[in-house]
A and B are shown apart, each in its own frame.
Chain A
Amino acid sequence: MSLEEKVKDIIVDKLGVAPEKVKPEAHFIDDLGADSLDTVELVMAFEEEFNVEIPDEDAQQITTVKAAVDYLGKKIG
């Protein structure tokens, strides 16, 4: 499974949204109905799945599907 697919699966699971809504440009809060607690949970799930630590200042920048994929891509090299 590609990084992108894994990220998408986590988003579908944690935010309870339909897979087709999880497009690269989709914003977690504005488009996918997340609230601030959901976004914290999402970042924690990324940390767990990819075994990385995401500092709070980085987490604040991860607001869209694409941002998450790009950030994690760089982080795990």
Chain B
Amino acid sequence: MEKRRVVITGMGVVTPLGNSVADFWKAMLESRSAAGPITKFDAANHTTKFACETKNLTTENIIEPKELKRIDEYAQFALVAAHEAIQDSGLELDKEDLERIGVLVGSGVGGIKSFEDEHRKLLEAGPRRVSPFFIPLMIIDIASGHISIKYNLKGPNYSVVSACATASHAIGDAYKTIQRGDADAMVTGGAEAAICPMGIAGFNSMKALSTRNDDPQRASRPFDKNRDGFVMGDGGGIVILEELEHARKRGAKIYAEMRGIGFTADAHHITAPAPGGEGAVRAIRLCLKDGGLNPDDVQYINAHGTSTPYNDKSETDAIKAVFGNQAYKLNVSSTKSMMGHLLGAAGSVELIASVLAINHGIIPPTINYEEPDPECDLNYTPNKPIERKVYAAVSNTFGFGGHNAVLAVSAFK
């Protein structure tokens, strides 16, 4: 039986670079950094005192004011991004079979800030003062729950978690859900809001974050020789995936086609990538095979490119292992150089960046690329966007735990 084809018909974002797809893209074309001093809490005693924070979130007409206290910021990001994506898709939900539309939104750590706040109450005032909203504020599946409740979407509904690969696993699973016939459309992606005292302290203790406090805007410098860790970001990204005939029947605009997924495990270490990016190599290969793509069909790789010494080297090795000489003809870029690392939302906002690259024929840059690292010798699209026709793009994400999730999208033909 022929596989059902799945296309992307709606996109929405909340990011440090802007809270709409249009603003997000504009900021990337301007090669802008969203980094700045942390304002969400007093970080005076933290080793890292800066991040890429989402600002000026508007929940008006999307979340009722009295509901805000029941919804952690991470799920608010998911709801606002989902609102833009659904509007953008043109889906008229009152005319749809809502049992055939599902939601699959992930998060790396969910309501970690709510956990912090309520734990403080537990210690200071005792267990009876812990809010009855604590559990539904914190749990990772609640973003999918809120979106289904708001739009009355009654199809498959759950979440997935795989640290920084979360959103790619979510989108990949949603794609397969439609492909195998369990839904006709899926609202899918990831959201994260971990810029809080525990979030920064935890990553600081791992030595995973950049500590370039004197120059935050130049701290996220993937593949540059002087990279010293990632810069935390927050936000959410949601795409509407739709079965091709369903999209055609309603005359939907089609941004791109979902082509392939590659999911693997390193089975190596809790945080360090496997030597040579072995798990990533297999994930990229599986993804191309799943999508029926040859290496030379691909022009752009949106890299995981965290700006940590380990990741960027092993990811470079992985790309070279899969693409051989063709690797040097690719444009690779890490949009984390501009918006920071959105952890469980990274895979979705970066897939959206990849789709925009296909749609506009422009590849967003890796900014702050100043000194080449001999161990990272690919074309990282340094410092400014370039024009290039892109047929297929690959988006890499790798999560602590050794999770690798790679997605491929192509121009719709």
Contact = CB atoms under 8 A, between A and B. Distances in A.
B131 A48 contact: no
A44 interface: yes
A48 B125 CA distance: 10
B66 A44 contact: no
Contact of A15 (B66, B128, B129): B66
Interface string A15-56: 110000000000000000000010011001001100001000
Contacts of B132: 37, 40-41, 44
A44 B129 contact: yes
B344 to A, nearest CB: 26
A38 to B, nearest CB: 8
B65 interface: yes
Interface string B202-231: 000000000000000000000000000000
Nearest to A42: B132
A55 to B, nearest CB: 11
Contacts of B136: 37
B128 A44 contact: yes
| Main secondary structure on B side of the interface with A | helix
Interface of A is mostly: helix
B133 interface: yes
Name which of B70, B129, B131, B132 has the most chain A CB atoms within 10 A of its CB.
B132
Contacts of A41: 131-133
Interface residues of B, number: 11
B66 A16 contact: yes
A37 B134 CA distance: 10
Contacts of A44: 128-129, 131-132
A57 B66 CA distance: 27
A16 B131 contact: no
Nearest to A39: B132
A41 B121 CA distance: 14
Interface string B117-145: 00000000100110111001000000000
Contacts of B133: 37, 41
Contacts of B128: 44, 47, 53
A48 B64 CA distance: 26
Contacts of B64: 16
- Of A15, A37, A48, A53, chain B has the most CB atoms within 10 Å of the CB of A37
B95 to A, nearest CB: 29
Contacts of A47: 128
A44 B133 CA distance: 12
B9 to A, nearest CB: 34
A16 B129 contact: no
Contacts of A53: 128
A34 to B, nearest CB: 10
Nearest to A40: B132
Contacts of B65: 16
B214 to A, nearest CB: 43
A40 B125 CA distance: 17
A42 to B, nearest CB: 10
A40 B132 CA distance: 7
- Identify the interface centre among A40, A44, A48: most chain B CB within 10 Å of its CB: A44
B395 to A, nearest CB: 38
A48 B129 CA distance: 8
A15 B70 CA distance: 11
A1 B64 CA distance: 30
User: What 7 A-B pairs come out closest when comparing CB atoms?
Assistant: A16-B66, A40-B132, A37-B132, A41-B132, A37-B133, A16-B65, A41-B131
Interface of A: 15-16, 37, 40-41, 44, 47-48, 53
Given A16-B66, A41-B132, 13 more contacts: A15-B66, A16-B64, A16-B65, A37-B70, A37-B132, A37-B136, A40-B132, A41-B131, A41-B133, A44-B128, A44-B131, A44-B132, A47-B128
20 contacts: A15-B66, A16-B64, A16-B65, A16-B66, A37-B70, A37-B132, A37-B133, A37-B136, A40-B132, A41-B131, A41-B132, A41-B133, A44-B128, A44-B129, A44-B131, A44-B132, A47-B128, A48-B125, A48-B129, A53-B128
